[in-house]
Structure 1
């Protein structure tokens, strides 16, 4: 069952829960359609500025409203966007995005503490990823991320600290019987949409940021615990599955998750055994 849906209108900012959502092949509608970038177009994220998780963006038909503790709210109307083309850089991908407004740039420059700009990917992102055969928004690499509650429960059983699902910044949270069932899924259907489960999601330091405080955990959890049972032979840790929508349509909380195809799951040595 689909238990939760989340979007992150601006990359690295707080997630917004939804009861239902339109899924496009480039990701859930409104998910990571905006990017904070330096003046060279390079992404600015919570990996270096963890307090970005305290920023909340609410999307409307006109644009979006952005709030942060201690700051006056920012209201942006898409009709006011300058829309000058800007070369955006997300990891090794370089593609055309569009400028928003000077007011947005100034607001986020105060948040970050250095000059930055707020970019918009457009109604249809121009970032085409050949390996996925689809366009992707400002997400790290894949249009969507899926995690089961059972997997989080198993992580918390092993971890000395309570880990919140928000730390993993997932789009789709599902209910299933066993931890890491999703590792063996190859193709699933939720609502109107068929998804390909592409590969496990490699996790980074951003997962150690408190979703309520906006600071890194001194304990380095959950990465520390994940290394004991979800690491490959190169020491990379994985939690959750990157997925790609094969068609567009609506999904709703409570929808059945129908597994259409399976594949052998990745194996990770369990150092606690």
Structure 2
């Protein structure tokens, strides 16, 4: 063996040795490049604390009273707490068209909760009603119309339909339930800034609406009659930041949840419904907001004449959010 090593290598062996050396160097360079790339990615993803979650609210039946929570699961379709999921129930006309507090302001007086596998409804001067969360498969599936888009919902039965119709003293209305095997509405068909992955059941536009306490305080300094965030129905309220700062958070992390800012929320006359008495004003806070919260002219095709208050976020990573959780803004360096 020693004599062989002292002798000259044949040309084919020299070429093989050179090729092997080059391959080793290439692998080493590739590994070093990957390590540097991962390190750069880690450095580029910095987080800055911007506030604290001060309130979490779920709205199981669209336009009905919200339910305040200490914590909630964030799913791709919005908030969830046990049997309750955000805007998974909808009041409709007999022809399937949605009914909201825009048409029936007293819907905001109906409170919603769950108990022992039942959806619990309460309203002034009405007897409490309990209906199964899981609607019988024998009940028909209705074709519903929500802001111009078709979506299914399983009819919840005659008893709750009569209860809602009696309370509202209205034409015949039905309650339907969105089931997870049904196709949700694509948010990008509702408004162009949304991504293909953003979907909702009966929500207006997006899975999550975030508003800061400071934004509400700023608005109240301009209003003769003070309001609160019940008029604006946010999913998550944040304290400890400046007014309208939520409009600038491109990506945020709360607990183990990651969310992406999609667009600001254009407000409608539903914000003028008094949550305490169900009377619609049709003026405030919209008139005041229009004086200082209109969109940039370049975005008028998105928001039209609606003033802006609160921001819609899509869900990039699911998990749990809790009151008291710090809110971090992701900074790309």
Q: TM-score, normalised by structure 2?
A: 0.75
* Separation (CA, whole Å) in 1 of partners of 2:182 and 2:270: 24
More helix per residue: 2
Match of 1:256 in 2: 326
8 Å Cα contact 2:200-2:206 kept in structure 1:
yes
Q: Secondary structure of 1:37's match?
A: strand
Query: 5+ residue gaps in structure 1?
Result: 263-273
> What is the aligned counterpart of 1:118 among 149, 155, 175?
175
Of 190, 197, 208, which aligns to 1:144? 208
| Greater shift in the superposed pair: 128-137 or 201-210 | 128-137
Is 1:185–1:261's contact at 8 Å kept on the other side of the alignment?
no
- 8 Å Cα contact 1:26/1:125 also seen in 2: no
Alignment match, 2:45: none
Aligned residues: 261
Distance 2:64 2:185 in 1: 23
Give the drift of 1:141. 1.3
Q: Which moved more, 1:196-205 or 1:77-86?
A: 77-86
Find out whether 1:156 has 2:220 as its counterpart. Answer: yes
Alignment root-mean-square deviation, CA: 1.6
Task: Deviation per CA, 1:111-143: give whole Å up to 9, x if none.
Answer: 231111100001355214162323312111111
Q: 2:162 and 2:143 mapped to 1: Cα distance?
A: 19
Q: Distance in 1 between matches of 2:207 and 2:294?
A: 23
- Distance in 2 (alpha carbons) for counterparts of 1:194 and 1:63: 31
Contact 2:273/2:281 (8 A) holds in 1 = yes
- Distance (whole Å) between structure 2 residues aligned to residue 100 and residue 89 of structure 1: 17
Identify if the C-alpha distance between structure 1 residues 224 and 258 changes in structure 2 by more than 3 Å, giving closer, same or farther. Answer: same
Residues in 2 aligned to 1:217 and 1:210: alpha-carbon distance in whole angstroms:
8
The C-alpha deviation readout for 1:200-240, integer Å capped at 9, x for no partner, is: 0000001011111110136x111111011001355320100
The equivalent residue for 1:225 is 288
Closer, same or farther: CA 130–57 of 1 in aligned 2, 3 Å: closer
Q: 1:90 aligns with which of 135, 143, 146?
A: 146
2:157 is matched with 101
Equivalent residues in 2 for 1:122-271, closer than 5 Å: 122-123=179-180, 125-129=182-186, 131=188, 132=195, 133-217=197-281, 220-232=283-295, 233=297, 234-261=304-331
2:101 to 40, 46, 50: 46
Unaligned runs of 5+ in 2: 1-51, 189-194, 298-303
Runs of 4+ in 1 over 4 A off after TM superposition: none
Max radius of gyration: which structure? Answer: 2
Cα distance in 2 for residues equivalent to 1:169 and 1:238: 14
Deviations 1:77-124 (A, max 9, x none): 135534422111110210222111111111112123111110000135
